[in-house]
Amino acid sequence: MKSRNHSRTHTQHAFTAFNPLVPEGLVLRSRRNMLKASLAGLAGLSVPNLLRTSDQLMAAGKSSLSKKSVILLWMTGGPSHIDTWDPKPDRPIQNRGPFGVTQTSVPGITITDRLPKQAAMMDRFTLIRSVDPKMSSHQPNQVMQTANLRATPRTNRKGDKYPAMASIVAKHHGANHPGMPPYVAFMKHHSHIAWGGYLGKEYDPFIANDAADLPVYDLVGKDSGKTSGGKMFQFAPGLSYERMKSRRDLMQQFDKLRSDIDQAGSMSAIDSYSQRAYNMVLGQRVQQAFDLNQESPATRDRYGKHLWCQQALLARRLVEAGSSFVTLDLSYHTASGTWDNHGDNIPPYGGIKNGLGPLLPLFDHLLTTLVLDLEERGLLDQVLVIAMGEFGRSPMSGTQGSTDGRNHWPVVMSMCMAGGGMNHGQVIGASEHDGAEIKHRPVRPGDLAATIYQYMGVPLDTQYIDEKGRPNFAIENGEPIHELF
């Protein structure tokens, strides 16, 4: 059964380092805290500590000037591997499902006939048909996004503490431009993505839902005809750029009262990072990256008006501007996810034909448009595109009173990758004849993490500290997928 609600909340935010509610000073503390709260609430960017980390990386000779980045297309709910990238056309219909198959541009590789555009571009893609999603669940979706088998908040009370791979990248690679947040996510529900965990709130994703003017869809995928408005960068009534600058200048004057007696120079350092944070929040680079009006009508039309397609265009704009990891939560529903295709009688999930069927042409267009756009802009070798969910679906269909619904299947799943300057036009691994088990070449979550970290220049022996002060390796039981390099 699906859980419709999840109790996890995020009472802290990514601007915790600003301490906007902590009193400071002796006389003017309330005024100063009001100013800090105004700045902290302007956009919610986790900038001061991230900027500090960026400087530390450069000092250590680990600058993020490689400009590499990752776009994760998260197919929330767990797409059926048999009905997408690992078809079983010779099996009985209860196993093979309702769709046909198509030959791709790479001889010997077949996929579902519902992905014709990807089939025509298979030389740009790698399919991995032997991913091991052991322990993975959803709502929250943690294991595959953290590469840690203990990241299971439903059964492990500390399961939400293991940092997202994207958060590891944010800390150890940083943004590709100091004016951009490193880890950005478009999120339908907080349980659909992974967070900073033990790394701290400053490595949580920058949630971009309100940063751009996007169409609003209801829980079953119907366009409401409304748009979100892109309110994040809009000042409150009476609050202008000039007024924010005046507040900033006043705050600097207050800080100088204390910096005069600071012997170690730490206050001036704090001022420096706050100044850069202020410039990021009010600077044009972030705002322009989220402004779809900067794109030509032809490009916007090429992607299409659907919410997910517009988010894909924004993902391209964000990595082009300097973000290093962007996650798209491809779900309409706030519960377990739109790709959780159990049965025909459970809106909005449906079974394979009625639930998954309408998603695949949309996904096919989104995926191939993004990859072609990156390629035409000369960015594809610098952007690794990953599409996957949290697990596969059961080989035998007909679950929950449906004709062709499939259950959760944390035994084997498929995923696809493109770009990143890697070897493509191939299939890695295989499932058994009925898609129920891994046949050969298992690919573990740790292998995926090692692949991403090696690509992004994150040391494979990277560690983080837990709440007891103990070191934990960011990669447990994993190595880079050698076929890709």
Q: What is the pLDDT of residues 450-464, one digit of tens each?
A: 999 999 999 999 999
- Average of per-residue pLDDT values in the chain: 84
SS3 readout for the chain: CCCCCCCCCCCCCCCHHHCCCCCCCCCCHHHHHHHHHHHHHHHCCCCHHHHHHHHHHHHCCCCCCCCCEEEEEECCCCCCCCCCCCCCCCCCHHHHCCCCEEECCCCCCEEECCCHHHHHCHHHEEEEEEECCCCCCCCCCCHHHHCCCCCCCCCCCCHHHCCCHHHHHHHHCCCCCCCCCCEEEECCCHHHCCCCHHHCHHHCCEECCCCCCCEEECCCCCEEEEECCCHHHCCCCCCCHHHHHHHHHHHHHHHHHHHCCCCCCHHHHHHHHHHHHHHHHHCHHHHHHCCHHHCCHHHHHHHCCCHHHHHHHHHHHHHHHCCCEEEEECCCCCCCCCCCCCCCCCCCCCCHHHHHHHHHHHHHHHHHHHHHHHHHCCCHHHEEEEEECCCEECCCCCHHHCCCCCCEECCCEEEEEEECCCCCCEEECEECCCCCCEEECCECHHHHHHHHHHHHCCCCCCEEECCCCCEEECCCCCCCCHHHC
Question: What is the pLDDT, as a whole number, of residue 137?
Answer: 92
Q: Is the pLDDT of residue 82 over 70?
A: yes
Tell me which residue of 190, 217, 220 sits closest to 349, measured CA to CA: 220
Domains and CATH numbers, the chain: 18-63+234-289 (no CATH), 68-219+294-484 (3.40.720)
Question: What is the pLDDT, as a whole number, of residue 31?
Answer: 45
Q: Is the pLDDT of residue 130 over 70?
A: yes
- Per-residue pLDDT, averaged over 365-384, amounts to 98
pTM exceeds 0.85, yes or no: no
Q: pLDDT-derived band of residue 243, with 50, 70 and 90 as boundaries?
A: low
Q: Is the pLDDT of residue 390 over 70?
A: yes
Q: Is the pLDDT of residue 41 over 60?
A: no
Q: Is the pLDDT of residue 101 over 90?
A: yes
- CA gap 107, 85 in Å, rounded: 15
Q: Is the pLDDT of residue 131 over 60?
A: yes
- Per-residue pLDDT, averaged over 407-428, amounts to 98
- CA gap 457, 473 in Å, rounded: 16
Cβ–Cβ < 8 Å for 407, 355: no
- Per-residue pLDDT, averaged over 299-321, amounts to 97
Q: pLDDT-derived band of residue 439, with 50, 70 and 90 as boundaries?
A: very high
Question: What is the pLDDT, as a whole number, of residue 244?
Answer: 52
